[in-house]
Amino acid sequence: MKATVHVMLKDGVLDPQGEAVRHALGTLGFDGVQAVRQGKVIELDLAATDKAAAEAEVRAMCDKLLANTVIEKFTVSIA
Check if the beta carbon of residue 73 is closer than 8 Å to that of residue 6: no
Contacts of 38 (CB under 8 A, 6+ apart): 15, 17, 18, 21
Per-residue pLDDT averaged across 33-54, rounded? Answer: 97
Check if the beta carbon of residue 77 is closer than 8 Å to that of residue 2: no
Query: What distance in Å separates the CA atoms of residue 64 and residue 23, rounded to the nearest whole number?
Result: 33
pLDDT digit string, tens, across residues 64-77: 999 999 999 999 99
Per-residue pLDDT averaged across 4-29, rounded? Answer: 97
Amino acid at site 71: I
Percentage of the chain modeled with pLDDT above 70: 100
Query: What distance in Å separates the CA atoms of residue 7 and residue 69, rounded to the nearest whole number?
Result: 10
pLDDT tier for residue 23 given thresholds of 50, 70 and 90: very high
